[in-house]
Amino acid sequence: MQKGEFPGAEAVKSKGWLSAHRYLLFRRLSQLLIIALFLTGPLFGVWIVKGNMASSLTLDILPLTDPLVFLQTLLTGNLPVQAGLIGAAIVLLFYFVVGGRVFCSWVCPINMVTDAAAWLRRKFRLKGGTTYSRQARYWMLLAILLLAATTGSIIWELVNPVSLVYRGLIFGMGIGWGVIFAIFLLDLLVAHNAWCGHLCPVGAFYSLIGKLSLVRISAARRQECDDCLDCFAICPEQQVIKPALKGAERNLGPVILSGQCTNCGRCIDVCAKDVFVISTRFSNQLPESRGNSNQEEVMS
Amino acid sequence: MDKKSKQDKVDVKRRRFLTDTLRTASGVCLVSLALVVYQRQAKALPSTAIRPPGAGDESDFLGACIRCGLCVRDCPYDTLKLAELGDEIALGTPYFIARDIPCEMCEDIPCVVACPTSALDHELTNIDDSRMGLAVVVDQEACIAFQGLRCEVCFNVCPIRNKAITLDYQHNDRSGKHALFIPVVHSDACTGCGKCEQACILDEAAIKVFPLALAKGELGKHYRLGWEQQKNLGEPLVTPDVPHQYNLPEGMTYDYGGEGLIEEPADQPFSSNPLDTLNRNKEGI
């Protein structure tokens, strides 16, 4: 990345705008398509998906339930009901395969809000602000689970902005827009990626599922990396890249194993050298190129 | 020296870790505290908001309901709504306002069937057993039945007619010759569907459905109603009454369980009871 250039500018030059925004476009399509599926019923009377993100019934047959809110009902001391149990199991299994935080980057509607804030931050070069610990979200997760268990009430759902957006769009928002706007301002002015990357307990929950999930991003061609830092600049969870991209000397494989990675694919988009690919956690063997990369370093 | 700088580095790292952790923990504690306070308020269900059939008491319901709105979707009469942010009701939970659209008490209870959790009791299969709330005649001054006017709309729209609401005939003191047809709600039959509240002809309903917690009183647990205990036992709880021996003034009798104290007209030649006269004559002979 040249000084003052937007991350990904080089990739746009070398690959063209479309393929330098491929995964971003796929993600927006996915996010909007899911909203559309929920909205055809209330708006046009074509019922494809009933309910909302917390629990839904697709084509009157497929139950899907948010596993986190389901877990909270169990913690408040309620016994599971078949539909909810099956729905939560299906969702868990799905994210177990495709990557826990795929929810965050491909499904969650708040992602569009926080991405917009991040984009503006880059555009207007807003720097600094408060720093939160990225561990705060796990504390939040622990807190909301403890609150459910001790008060017997699903307290998090009183304010959860993630479920609020869908419920609002489908059933009526009230002053819910205020919460969404607050998150936008938080991400824009208070701290970079404050909500999704630091505070959101829903994302924390999915990152725990993602610790073992199958589909992962891999810096498969990391020896090609020219240290332009575009991937670091665009990544919402920068800390996950380094071990995979720069871990060759420390005997670390090229696959991003951290559950915090959202599999958003933006690193694939912005890399002019096509270092990153979608892969699985099983392709994390140290390639023979490790020796080569060491050699290259010695040579240079 | 190298060792010392290394030691310093470790110290700084440790200090940073501790302050970071402390900061995060206290922040999260503050958020939790705020949430608990907010939850206390959110738990106070307004008196007009009625939960769908099969919902338990409010605190149980708030632990079980995941706010998905599937009950709302399967309600054929658009009765149910989800609370929006800013409403007085816990965000995202289903409710209905009886005065606007009451529950039509579907026989197959689709809202309960749709619920993916135990928030709506899946063992509820007969809608007559549901207790969404309880109708209460809240304003006897405004209800026109108490003025002696014929209305009985609530009585007539009630889906459990003549059981949940009955008419109590009382004397009309104002006219002196008419009856009052007073509606009386019975909690053993009323489901709280709210049809009566919706139908009430007043500008502001005189009969309203309230959540059970608001509508019901409760007798102290230590109370025993003698006549009910007697019915259950089949015999009196205390020593049975024996005919009482009274020390009555001369010329008086006492009719236990009947007329009470009776003055015997001793001086008069004829008793008020003609039989007495006949018997006396007999004795006299």
Report pLDDT digits (tens) over A22-65. Answer: 889 999 999 999 888 888 888 888 888 888 888 888 887 888 88
As beta bridge partners, residue B179 has B171
Q: Is residue A27 part of a domain?
A: no
A209 has pLDDT over 80: yes
pLDDT score, position B257 = 67
Residues of chain A contacting residue B63, judged by C-beta atoms under 8 Å apart: 73, 76-78, 148, 152-154
Residues of chain A contacting residue B42, judged by C-beta atoms under 8 Å apart: 158
Q: Are residues A78 and A164 in the same domain?
A: yes
Residues of chain B contacting residue A147, judged by C-beta atoms under 8 Å apart: 32, 35-36, 39
Cβ contact A54–B82 (<8 Å): no
CATH of residue A236's domain is 3.30.70
| Nearest residue in chain A measured CA to CA from B34 | A155
- The percent of residues above 90 in pLDDT, for chain A, comes to 7
pLDDT score, position B132 = 92
ipTM entry: 0.77
In sequence order, which ranges of A76-160 are alpha helices (DSSP H)? 82-98, 102, 110-123, 136-151
A291 has pLDDT over 60: no
Q: Is residue A60 part of a domain?
A: yes
Q: Is residue A64 part of a domain?
A: yes
Could you tell me the CA-to-CA distances from A56 to A100, A112, A183, A272 in Å, in that order? 19, 22, 25, 40
Q: How far apart are the first and last CA of chain B?
A: 144
pLDDT score, position A287 = 56
Domain-terminating residue out of A209, A239, A264: A209
Give CA torsion, residues A267, A30, A82, A168, to 10 deg.
110
Q: Are residues A185 and A224 in the same domain?
A: no
pLDDT score, position A300 = 35
The answer to whether the pTM exceeds 0.80 is: no
Q: Is residue A28 part of a domain?
A: no
As beta bridge partners, residue B96 has B50
Domain-terminating residue out of A177, A209, A241: A209
Interface of A with B in 155-214 (CB under 8 A): 155-159, 163-164, 167-168, 170-176, 178-179
Q: Is A76 on the interface with B (CB under 8 A)?
A: yes
The model's pLDDT over A119-165, given as tens digits with 9 standing for 90+, comes to 888 888 777 777 777 888 898 899 889 988 888 888 888 888 888 88
| Nearest residue in chain B measured CA to CA from A47 | B73
* Closest residue to B24, CB basis, from A69, A139, A158: A139
Top-ranked range on mean pLDDT: pick from A258-267, B40-49, B93-102, B259-268: B93-102
Judge contact between A289 and A128, C-beta under 8 A: no
The half-sphere exposure of B7 on its side-chain side, counting CA atoms within 13 A, is: 4
pLDDT score, position A76 = 85
A295 has pLDDT over 60: no
The helix (H) or strand (E) run that includes residue A63 is: strand A62-65
Domain-terminating residue out of A209, A241, A268: A209
Q: Are residues A203 and A259 in the same domain?
A: no
Worst-scoring range by mean pLDDT, A58-72, A111-125, A254-268, B226-240? Answer: B226-240
Interface of B with A in 19-48 (CB under 8 A): 20-21, 23-25, 27-29, 31-32, 35-36, 38-39, 42-43
Show the tokens assigned to B131.
């207790």
Interface test with A, best of B19, B37, B85, B113 (most A CBs within 10 A): B85
Q: Are residues A125 and A265 in the same domain?
A: no
- Minimum distance, in Å, between the CA of residue B40 and any CA atom of chain A: 10
Q: How far apart are CA B195 and CA B193, in angstroms?
A: 6
Q: Report the number of distinct structural domains present in chain A.
A: 2
Q: Is residue A165 part of a domain?
A: yes
- Minimum distance, in Å, between the CA of residue A173 and any CA atom of chain B: 6
- Dihedral class, residue A236 (left if φ above 0, else alpha if ψ from -120 to 50, else beta): alpha
Confidence of residue B281 (pLDDT cuts 50, 70, 90): low
Judge contact between B80 and B68, C-beta under 8 A: no
Q: Are residues A202 and A225 in the same domain?
A: no
Q: Is residue A40 part of a domain?
A: no
Length of chain A counted residue by residue: 300
By C-alpha distance, which of B140, B154, B92, B131 is closest to B213? B131
Q: How far apart are CA A115 and CA A106, in angstroms?
A: 12
A292 has pLDDT over 50: no
Q: Are residues A184 and A283 in the same domain?
A: no
* Closest residue to B84, CB basis, from A135, A152, A174: A174
Show the tokens assigned to B108.
């197959």
Domain span at residue A222 reads 9-13+215-289
Q: How far apart are CA A12 and CA B118, in angstroms?
A: 52
Per the model's pLDDT, the better-predicted residue between B124 and B257 turns out to be B124
Q: How far apart are CA A14 and CA A189, in angstroms?
A: 33
pLDDT score, position B184 = 93
Interface of B with A in 64-83 (CB under 8 A): 64-70, 72-74, 81-83
The model's pLDDT over B92-110, given as tens digits with 9 standing for 90+, comes to 899 999 999 999 999 999 9
pLDDT score, position B135 = 93
Judge contact between A78 and B63, C-beta under 8 A: yes
Please provide the average confidence, as pLDDT, over all residues in chain B: 84
Q: Are residues A110 and A190 in the same domain?
A: yes
Q: Is residue A234 part of a domain?
A: yes
Q: Is residue A29 part of a domain?
A: no
Q: What is the mean pLDDT of residues A276-281?
A: 86
Q: Are residues A197 and A229 in the same domain?
A: no
Q: How far apart are CA B24 and CA A137, in angstroms?
A: 9
Q: Are residues A73 and A204 in the same domain?
A: yes
* Closest residue to A136, CB basis, from B24, B68, B114: B24
Confidence of residue B66 (pLDDT cuts 50, 70, 90): confident
Q: Are residues A101 and A116 in the same domain?
A: yes
As beta bridge partners, residue A29 has none
Instruction: Supply the DSSP symbol for A78.
Output: P
Show the tokens assigned to A29.
């399509």
Residues of chain A contacting residue B38, judged by C-beta atoms under 8 Å apart: 155, 158-159
Q: How far apart are CA B135 and CA B133, in angstroms?
A: 7
* Closest residue to B32, CB basis, from A147, A153, A157: A147
Q: Are residues A97 and A168 in the same domain?
A: yes
Judge contact between B271 and B251, C-beta under 8 A: no
Q: Is A54 on the interface with B (CB under 8 A)?
A: yes
By C-alpha distance, which of A284, A291, A277 is closest to A22? A277
* Closest residue to A172, CB basis, from B39, B82, B90: B82
Residues of chain B contacting residue A63, judged by C-beta atoms under 8 Å apart: 116
pLDDT score, position B243 = 64
Residues of chain B contacting residue A87, judged by C-beta atoms under 8 Å apart: 116
Residue for token pair 């009482």 = B244
- The percent of residues above 90 in pLDDT, for chain B, comes to 34
Interface of A with B in 82-121 (CB under 8 A): 83-84, 87
Q: Which long-range contacts (CB under 8 A, 24 or more apart) does A92-97 make?
A: A92/A67, A92/A209, A95/A206, A95/A209, A95/A210, A95/A213, A96/A209, A96/A212, A96/A213, A96/A214, A97/A213, A97/A214, A97/A215
| Nearest residue in chain B measured CA to CA from A87 | B116
Q: Is A151 on the interface with B (CB under 8 A)?
A: yes
Cβ contact A163–B67 (<8 Å): yes
* Closest residue to A153, CB basis, from B59, B114, B116: B59
The amino acid sitting at A143 is: A
The model's pLDDT over B206-244, given as tens digits with 9 standing for 90+, comes to 999 999 888 888 889 998 888 888 888 877 777 766 666
Confidence of residue A296 (pLDDT cuts 50, 70, 90): very low
Show the tokens assigned to A262.
């959202």
Please provide the average confidence, as pLDDT, over all residues in chain A: 83
Q: Are residues A177 and A219 in the same domain?
A: no
Interface of A with B in 20-49 (CB under 8 A): 41, 47
Confidence of residue B191 (pLDDT cuts 50, 70, 90): very high
- Minimum distance, in Å, between the CA of residue B113 and any CA atom of chain A: 10
pLDDT score, position B103 = 93
